[in-house]
Chain A
């Protein structure tokens, strides 16, 4: 065939590098409304659920049993299940039916019913529902702080900048596993330099993650994965019961935590049982709710390529966020791992959460260049900061970031790296040199950083752990070296564990360590003029991007 020049050009567009596949329900490659998804049903006998979504109790797998016994509310379930799914969907988007009323319906629906209900909604309705149903009134944002070299000074500088830019949570992970404690400390010190009260975490294997939390190297945990089929759950080396115990273990140390799940994980791991991605994700969310965990990171996350490849997949990602909110869970709503080469597509996917606002619009905006992002990249990164600020300004939306001055950023990066330099010295870790601090201050990414002696670093980390080092030693190190304000912030963050206020749903801290959560900042959206609005004070900041011209200067 003689090729059309138009088609030839289209074929070269970045979107053609993305993977797309037609639906294949048997392998779980269907986003929503899978032909094999169970029909909603429930039956109660002697105060117990004996039939759930077409399955008898004796045939229950671990997830069915956990959801039946720990999540669903048998006092209301028969009544809610009897209601027409479309009517229930109407209630969810009706501004005259309060969030509180809708919230009560969630535990009266089986996972299949919930999926059927949201299946009646288009994305605009879902976005509207997210605006009304998210737990915390004030939206917020989370970022990734990582680099290819696990370079501590760069991590600290990036964390300090990220905190200054407005992120309320910072998440790191490792290039090499043994760096985990070093990375955790680096972003915690950097974060508390940038803005007191920022929450930090380090995503690694579950038991190690808990240990770092106990030591005071992290303030919360998120990478506690749950899955929608029993086989994948077990392949992930956990059960609903071990994961629930882990949740209580965190709370027993006064540490905030949320689970992680997302559409596509079961298909990717080969055990989707022929069910749709959203149905399996609904099971994850009902399990999460039953475990008593306050929240979830979802929106496909690390399996985003799977729903991203099938029809209605991006809609399913929004739907899974919405289901989390309908279950009154905090939702860190994805926009995480890269799934597309197309700038158009990634922005469109992000607007689903950015416009209505979620508890954390991104569960990992890359506060580093994409090549340094050890979560396999993110949909948006440092090079997109100004675009993002303009979107907030164009649409008068609080996306969680504020404009910053170059000079302030340089200053805070320098201070974060220097503070960490002092901490490393006091903890007996290998030196961070003045050259490294200087490089981190002005760096775009790890390409601008000298290499570390990795073996020396490992030795230093191991010795530090063996000595039983905890967060208190870091507070002392900071104070001793003239970083009193950072030390106080670090101390205040550790002190929050005593009261446990930030264990609650969707909790974050402001710069005065005032806890803001879905307890004292409940979403009360009830139509125009209600719910969250950008304050005049914030709007002045959001408007003031550094590259907007001042009319008074024009024509001079």
Chain B
């Protein structure tokens, strides 16, 4: 088997391993603090691209030549969870929670993200529509925090008459 292929398989497997390990239960206590920030300088070893490359692997020349695809210029769930930890270390609890919700959303495609956002705007969705989105996020993306957040929104929209047809 060719060396590059093996490498890419290993990366994928490792990447998946790390991702599933983290998204199921965001790590609390890998001990990152403000001292490890900026991660791009001080904790490079903990920052990986979606396919598992390191920051140093992402070179200008390789992006220009097309060897490294643009899809590598993305943050992963692990990195966001790490950044959430750093945020907590400087007493920014709500911001950390936002980063954890974001970590869950890294796997949701651009178009679907835009659709869900629009569905959450006032008068766009029935309660059932919203609950289905919550189920989809939970079942297909393991996005438990977002699912709970949208279920909460569905309750509030119902109470405040901001569902589809309420206008």
Contact = CB atoms under 8 A, between A and B. Distances in A.
Given A210-B117, A292-B98, A245 B41 contact: no
Given A475-B63, A499-B79, A503-B83, A252 B92 contact: no
- In the complex, which range does the number of interface residues on chain A fall in? 35 or more
A472 interface: yes
A520 B83 CA distance: 13
A292 B75 contact: no
Contact of A252 (B39, B60, B103): B103
Q: Which of A71, A252, A475 has the most CB of B within 10 A?
A: A252
Given A245-B116, A472-B70, A499 B99 contact: no
Given A238-B121, A292-B96, A498-B75, A248 B37 contact: no
A452 interface: no
Interface string A490-508: 0110111111110111000
B24 interface: no
A234 interface: yes
B40 A496 contact: yes
Contact of B95 (A103, A250, A292, A494): A292
A501 B38 contact: yes
Interface residues of B, number: 58
B117 A239 contact: no
Contacts of B116: 245
Interface in B21-79: 34, 37-41, 47, 49, 55, 58, 60, 63-64, 66, 70, 72-75, 79
Contacts of B118: 207
A457 interface: no
Contact of A514 (B34, B38, B64): B38
Interface in A236-267: 237-239, 241-242, 244-254
A487 B59 CA distance: 12
Contacts of A103: 91
Interface string A442-483: 000000000000000000000000000011100110010000
Contacts of B92: 294, 328, 505
Nearest to A69: B152
A291 B98 CA distance: 7
A293 interface: yes
B98 A65 contact: no
Given A497-B75, A499-B40, A499-B47, A251 B98 contact: yes
Given A241-B152, A248-B146, A499-B47, A254 B75 contact: yes
Nearest to B34: A519
Given A241-B156, A248-B102, A249-B113, A497 B96 contact: no
B64 A239 contact: no
B80 interface: yes
Nearest to A255: B75
Interface string B77-91: 001100100110011
A368 interface: no
Given A214-B110, A292-B96, A62 B160 contact: yes
A238 B120 CA distance: 8
A102 B150 CA distance: 33
A237 B121 contact: yes
Contacts of A290: 94
B39 A239 contact: no
Contacts of A134: none
Contacts of A522: 90
Interface of B: 34, 37-41, 47, 49, 55, 58, 60, 63-64, 66, 70, 72-75, 79-80, 83, 86-87, 90-92, 94-99, 101-106, 108, 110, 113-114, 116-118, 120-122, 146, 149-150, 152-153, 156-157, 160, 162
Interface of A: 61-62, 65, 69-71, 100, 103-104, 206-207, 210-211, 214, 216, 230, 234, 237-239, 241-242, 244-254, 289-294, 328, 470-472, 475-476, 479, 487-488, 491-492, 494-501, 503-505, 514-515, 517-520, 522
Given A61-B160, A472-B70, A495-B58, 7 more contacts: A242-B122, A252-B108, A294-B92, A294-B95, A471-B70, A498-B58, A504-B95
28 contacts: A69-B152, A100-B91, A103-B91, A206-B117, A210-B113, A211-B114, A238-B121, A239-B162, A244-B149, A245-B116, A248-B101, A249-B105, A251-B99, A252-B80, A328-B91, A476-B66, A488-B60, A495-B58, A499-B47, A500-B79, A500-B80, A500-B83, A501-B40, A503-B99, A504-B37, A505-B92, A515-B38, A519-B90
